[in-house]
Amino acid sequence: MALTKTDKIWHNGRMVAWDDARIHVLSHVVHYGSAVFEGIRCYKTAQGPSIFRLREHMLRLVRSAHIYRMDLPFTVDQLAAAAGDLVRANHMDSCYIRPVVLRGYGDLGVHASSAVPIETYMACWSWGRYLGEEALRDGVDVCVSSWRRPAPDTLPQMAKAAANYMNSQLIKMEAIADGYVEGVALDEQGYVAEGSGENLFAVYDGSLWTSPVAHSVLPGITRASILTLASNFEIPVVEQPIPREMLYIADEAFFCGTAAEVTPIRSVDKITVGAGRRGPITERLQKEFFAITAGETPDRHGWLTPVNVTVGAAR
């Protein structure tokens, strides 16, 4: 999906023009993937634009940076405030927000010396449904990828790091080349991990199954939200390793994530999952998720941060 240019990008505490947010070709991040980032959605609600689980996303960003010894000069609260400022500066009623912390220009040794600055950028733009509008209803066809998620002692999967997404690109490109919408990665032991950029749930005999974080799974913010909603609905949850073949015999399956939101899985490896369409538990969780993010039902968990933009205000 092509980027839709907006006016301003936040850089190290100040707003700059979109076209002025640039890095040098010899920046450390270009050569070694030394960046951590987040993906956050701001939803249009009757109360105005509201950012979904803003603080949790910024906390994960700070923790990802900490894992990679990147000293951030901004607190979680400062980053959260910057996100609100950014949405207001661009007069957005809904958007996708992308904060990124990277190692910049100064030294090209693998070990980033003190000469390499830590740069923090944050952009926002309009972005629709990641896997397609119809996918929310009809589901998507996926395959189990030949590429596995890195082992826990190779690249830390609890960090949302740019380098991890080289693995995700291989998973996604293979799936697309083979005629699927998305790929499912296994972990080093051959158990189900997640999609290229989404967490995964399966419904089996009335229970909601998902892989534990220890099995090369990103601790997803939307994943945590789905677990909370399942508890609200008294749907039993099982967090344990999931064999590949369980996807074939599951009653339902779905992806979740900031980009994918809640997207049903219609088939895996050309084997129909359940009835081959969105199942009742998936639909119930999906509708509740969208009702909360649209402000149509009370935000009883405090997940939305109002931005208080006057929609359509003059620039």
pLDDT of residue 311: 42
pLDDT of residue 286: 97
pLDDT of residue 121: 98
| Dihedral pair phi/psi, residue 194, rounded to 5° | -165, 180
| Dihedral pair phi/psi, residue 30, rounded to 5° | -65, -35
Domain 135-278 coded CATH 3.20.10.10: yes
Based on the residue annotation, tell me whether 270 is a catalytic residue of this protein.
Answer: no
Cα distances from 180 to residues 145, 148, 161, 171, in angstroms, run 11, 17, 25, 11
pLDDT of residue 177: 98
Q: pLDDT tens, position by position, for the chain (315 residues)?
A: 678 999 999 999 999 999 999 999 999 999 999 999 999 999 999 889 999 999 999 999 999 999 999 999 999 999 999 999 999 999 999 999 999 999 999 999 999 888 999 999 999 999 876 666 788 889 999 999 999 999 989 999 999 999 999 999 999 999 999 999 999 999 999 999 999 999 999 999 999 999 999 999 999 999 999 999 999 999 999 999 999 999 999 999 999 999 999 999 999 999 999 999 999 999 999 999 999 999 999 999 999 999 985 444 433
Structure tokens at 110: 């693998």
Identity of residue 35 = A
Strand residues in the chain grouped as ranges (E): 8-11, 14-17, 35-37, 40-43, 50-52, 95-103, 118-125, 140-144, 182-186, 192-195, 199-204, 207-210, 237-239, 252-257, 261-268, 271-272, 304-306
pLDDT of residue 310: 46
**Integer Cα distance of 121 and 74 in angstroms:** 12
Kindly report, as residue ranges, where domains of CATH 3.30.470.10 are found in the chain. Answer: 8-125
Given the residues 5, 8, 44, 160, select the one marked as catalytic: 160
- Reported residue count of the chain is 315
Alpha-helical segments (H) within the chain: 28-32, 54-67, 76-89, 135-138, 164-177, 221-232, 246-249, 280-293
CA-based nearest residue to 99, from 140, 53, 62: 62
What fold is seen in the domain 8-125?
A: D-amino Acid Aminotransferase; Chain A, domain 1 (3.30.470)
CA atoms within 13 A on the CB side of 254: 28
Alpha-carbon 170 to chain mean position: 17
Kindly report, as residue ranges, where domains of CATH 3.20.10.10 are found in the chain. Answer: 135-278
